[in-house]
Structures are given as structure tokens and as C-alpha cells.
Chain A
Amino acid sequence: MPIPIPIEAILFCFLIVMAVVITRLQDLFAAAMLTGIFSLVSAGLFTLMDAVDVAFTEAAVGAGVSTVFILGTLSLTSKWEEQQPRRLWPFLAVGIMGSALIYGTLDMPAYGDITSPPNQHLARQFIEAETTAYVESHGDGHGAADHEEGHHDASHGEAASHGDVHASEDGAHHGNKGVGLPNIVTSILASYRGYDTFGETAVIFTACVGVLLLLQTRRREDDEVDEDAPSAEESSAAEAKS
């Protein structure tokens, strides 16, 4: 009987092979294409790990848009990597760093381990608060909602033994009312962690302004000056406001 190989292992092997090939390729066009495929395979891995939102982003950004950007950069620079002298110390540095990271993961709980601290405290707290909220907002006395409620009560009793889960940390400012969206990821990102997401959006904004400043410097020396001046002023004003 053949040993069943998990599809994650196959995908991880693909990733390793692609990473090695990308570092060795001299043809940058092929390397750009391989980075796109790399992102697509990682998106597949994320889907297998039930992180559909992350997979979605990885597929759209990594495999789609950033490949276009890399190709655009290639058309501005060169399509071939210059021959570099082989040196040992970058390889050593990367090797040491990589093994340090792998050594670090040895101490982490196994993937999907229900007894790990995040799954016992924060994630559990989010899931419980959101389940209650969703059931309350949708359960107008029909059977399924009652069943869910009973189930929740059972798990809640269990949680009580872990100390005061609800009163602590993030759920507190909502008073355990929750958000009540079916997609808990959206609830966490946009509501519980709304401040973080605001920061992320500001980072995207700032990064874009920075990239534009870099890319448009040469345009300013040319005759097209009209578009640049107001944009710089407006972006700084917007940053000051936010």
C-alpha cells in the first residue's frame, strides 16, 4: 500500500524547488514568472489551511499585480542578471538565519492544535463572542438557533475553567455584544482591530505616495509638470488630517 503523501508536502516541495531555481536563474523574465507561480502555489497552501482571505490576497497581489509591476520594472532596467562572483558568506548568513527560524518553529504548537494558547484564549474568545452575536441577530426562535445557543453555553461553561476569558483583552470594549457577521475575519479586521486596519491603510497610502515620488522624479524634469505639483501637496495635507 502506498504511503499517502499530503498535498501540503508536495506544494512545499514545489515552493522550495522554485525558490532555489529563482535564485539561480540569470534570465530575470523567467524569474519574474516563477515568483508569480510561487505566489500562486502559496495561495493554494493558504487555501488548504483554511485561510481563504489570505489566499485571495496572495493570488491577487502576488501572482497578479506584483508580477505586472516586476515585469514593468524589468522593462525599465535589464532583462538579464549580471554575472556575480560567487561568495560564501551570503550563503552562510542565509543558512544560519534559516536554521534559526526552523529552530524557532520547533518550539511552536503544532498547526491546528486546539490546546495551543491562541486557540484557547484569543481566537476562542473571538469565535464565542461572534457566534453568540450571529445567533442573536439571526435566531428569531427557530430550532437551529436554539441548538447553537445550547452548544455555545456548553462550551462557555468549559471556558469558565480557564479563568476570566471574556473580561480580559479585546472583547471587553464591545461588552461581549460582538459584531455578528458570518465572516469572523472581517469582524476582527474591521471592527475589533479597526485601529490596526486604519494604520495598514495609512501605510498603503504612505507607501504609494513614496513610490510615486520616486517614480515621478524624472517626469518633473520633463515638460509634464502639471500633474505632479498638486498631488504632492494634497497627499501631505491628507496625511496631516488623518
Chain B
Amino acid sequence: MKPAPMKMRDKLILRVVSKVFIPFMFLFGLYVQFHGDFGPGGGFQAGVVFAAGFILYGLIFGLETLREAIPPLVVERLLALGLLLYGFTGVASLFLGANFLDYDAFSPEHPMHGQHIGILLVEFGVGLTVTAAMTLIFYGLAGRATR
């Protein structure tokens, strides 16, 4: 893979097409993330779509460009942050007097609103962790390959 990123950046069609597509991939990822309650999708799928956007960017423009765009240190923290967000959502419902991960507690008058808030938070946590995990594995593989 060592010479590949350099070559890909020089290919006009790949560069232009991916530049056009990557914003839409992220937009679609966000749609899948926050529309998962209503249509197919959710945190896991959105995370993978998001990570696919990052990986495509890294493949076309090179690993260093991707490292500048999203530093591995930040991604490593996001990996933990997603899981922590999920866990703390559960702990928060504990402190509000309900069971662990019982989202009814977030809005006692309208339990369904509470459910929606909880699901939104939890799915966001899943999305963060999955995006970070996929991107980090790509960093790990590509980092060894270019060495």
C-alpha cells in the first residue's frame, strides 16, 4: 500500500468524485444516526457510514491528510467517550430514581419523551464508538502499511 496513496491523489477522477461524495456520505451518516428512530438505521449503521467517509478520505488523500483532519488522539478519546455516554445515560436514569437504562426517568410526565431522549443519547454513544473503532483500525492497518 506504500505507493498507493500517492498515486490515488494524482488521479483526477478519483479525487474529484470523492471530494463531491464525501460530504454527502457524512450527511447520510447523520441522517441515519438521527433518523434511526423513524427509518432503518441507528447508531451502528451511522457509525460505519461515517467511518467509511473518513476511510475514503484517507485512501484518496493519504493517511497524513486524514491524520491532520481527525487526529488519532481525538479519535481514541471519542472511542471511549461513546461508551461512556452510553454508560452515563444509564447511570443518570439510576440517579433519577429508575432502573439502569430506564429512560422513562428523563421525563416523568411524558415517559415516551424520556424514552426518545434516552434512545437518542444512547444511539449517539454507539455511533461515536463505532465511528472511532473503524477509523482507528484503519489508522492501525494503514499506519503499518505505509511504514
> For A61, what are the chain B residues with a Cβ–Cβ distance below 8 Å?
48
Docked CA distance A75–B5 (Å):
12
- A contacts with B: majority SS: helix
Q: Count residues of B near A (Cβ-Cβ below 8 Å).
A: 61
Q: List 16 A–B pairs whose Cβ atoms lie within 8 Å, in order of A's numbering.
A: A53-B45, A57-B48, A60-B49, A68-B55, A75-B145, A76-B1, A181-B115, A190-B119, A195-B100, A198-B87, A201-B82, A208-B136, A215-B141, A215-B143, A231-B76, A241-B87
Most chain A CB within a 10 A radius of its CB, from B52, B136, B137: B137
> For B82, what are the chain A residues with a Cβ–Cβ distance below 8 Å?
201, 205
Q: Are A212 and B122 in contact (CB under 8 A)?
A: no
A180 to chain B, nearest CB (A): 4
A205-217 vs B, Cβ < 8 Å mask (1 yes, 0 no): 1011101100110
Docked CA distance A195–B79 (Å):
19
Q: Are A207 and B133 in contact (CB under 8 A)?
A: yes
Docked CA distance A183–B63 (Å):
38
B59 adjacent to chain A (CB < 8 Å): yes
Q: Which of B49, B100, B101, B138 meets A68, CB within 8 Å?
A: B138
List of 3 A-B pairs having minimum Cβ-Cβ separation, nearest first: A215-B140, A72-B141, A208-B133
Question: A179-B116, A197-B126 provided; 7 other pairs, C-beta below 8 A?
Answer: A60-B52, A182-B38, A183-B38, A190-B122, A231-B73, A241-B87, A242-B84
A184-220 vs B, Cβ < 8 Å mask (1 yes, 0 no): 0111011100110110011011011101100110110
Q: Which of B55, B80, B87, B140 meets A212, CB within 8 Å?
A: B140
Q: Which of B76, B111, B115, B147 meets A234, CB within 8 Å?
A: B76
CB proximity to B under 8 Å, residues A127-173: 133, 137, 173
Q: Are B38 and A72 in contact (CB under 8 A)?
A: no
Docked CA distance A96–B69 (Å):
51
A214 and chain B: residue at smallest CB distance: B140
Q: Which of A65, A207, A231 meets B48, CB within 8 Å?
A: A65
Q: Are A69 and B133 in contact (CB under 8 A)?
A: no
A22 to chain B, nearest CB (A): 21
Docked CA distance A69–B83 (Å):
23
B119 to chain A, nearest CB (A): 4
> For A174, what are the chain B residues with a Cβ–Cβ distance below 8 Å?
104
**Interface on A for B, CB 8 Å cutoff?**
52-53, 56-57, 60-61, 64-65, 68-69, 72-73, 75-76, 133, 137, 173-174, 177-183, 185-187, 189-191, 194-195, 197-198, 201-202, 204-205, 207-209, 211-212, 215-216, 218-219, 222, 227, 230-231, 234-235, 238, 241-242
Docked CA distance A195–B141 (Å):
32
Q: Are A181 and B37 in contact (CB under 8 A)?
A: yes
Docked CA distance A198–B122 (Å):
8
Q: Are B111 and A194 in contact (CB under 8 A)?
A: no
B105 adjacent to chain A (CB < 8 Å): no
A112 to chain B, nearest CB (A): 19
> For A73, what are the chain B residues with a Cβ–Cβ distance below 8 Å?
141
B62 adjacent to chain A (CB < 8 Å): no
B78-113 vs A, Cβ < 8 Å mask (1 yes, 0 no): 011011101100100000000111111000000110
Q: Are B123 and A65 in contact (CB under 8 A)?
A: no
Docked CA distance A57–B72 (Å):
25
Q: Which of A173, A186, A190 meets B99, CB within 8 Å?
A: A173
Q: Are B133 and A72 in contact (CB under 8 A)?
A: no
> For A238, what are the chain B residues with a Cβ–Cβ distance below 8 Å?
80, 83-84
Q: Are A198 and B86 in contact (CB under 8 A)?
A: yes
